Amino acid sequence: MGKFGLSAFFAISILVPAAASAHSYGPPPGVTAAPGDSAKACTACHATYPLNSGAGSVNITLPSGSVYIPGVKQRIMVRVADPNQKRWGFQLTARLDSNPQTGQAGDFTPVDNWTQVICPDYGPQPCASGPYFIEHTSAGTRNGTTGGATFQFDWTPPSTNAGTVTLYAAGNAANGDGSFNGDYIYTTS
């Protein structure tokens, strides 16, 4: 069994309605605050409040806790919550601790229309190079839903024991006004 350092650095980002500048369709690649990604996570755009300064939270739930079995698919759930917000988003990446900047750890598979996989160059899977990301879709933001939202997807770890894997994520608890203003970004590890 491999060790799964659930250092799920989860910078939760809730995105605003489909305004030209707000990414309700999903953020650009690399906003999880993982090594090699933007250290500001989603606050690079959603900059009204400092990172992790709101009343909300983000949680990652794995069925096997902090271990994985190489090559065995498992369902991951990510919950972004904030009592005062009403639109939700996230981005997550899995990295090998032995190469946290570019070491992709396993594969992501969406299980509904609320998540999608993107490559660093916005190209289709499998990605030509670098780590890739799973994030919300426009439908997944569930505009008007108060309190929080849960996203789920499958993760298949590397087929051989690759050692410790860390999940990094960014989540956005948005106010749903269609702009980058007034949204809270949360992280966890």
Task: For residue 25, report the phi and psi dihedrals to the nearest 5 degrees.
Answer: -80, -5
Residue 184 is predicted with a pLDDT of 93
Q: Give Dmax over CA atoms of the chain in angstroms.
A: 45
Quick check: 136 and 89 in contact, CB under 8 A?
yes
Enter the pTM of the model. Answer: 0.84
Sequence-distant (≥ 6) Cβ neighbours of residue 71 within 8 angstroms: 156, 157, 158, 159, 160
Domain hosting 163: range is: 2-186
In eight-state DSSP terms, residue 15 is P
Considering only CA atoms, which of 60, 70, 87 is closest in space to residue 170? 60
Residues of the chain with pLDDT under 70: 1-24, 40-41, 43-44, 47, 189
In contact, 173 and 82? CB cutoff 8 Å: yes
CA distance 138 to 128: 25
Q: What is the pLDDT of residue 127?
A: 83
Give the whole-angstrom CA distance, residue 164 versus residue 103: 11
Residue 102's alpha-carbon distances to 52, 62, 124, 127, in angstroms, are 25, 23, 17, 12
pLDDT value, residue 20? 33
In the chain, the number of structural domains is: 1
Query: The domain spanning residue 58 has which CATH number?
Result: 2.60.40
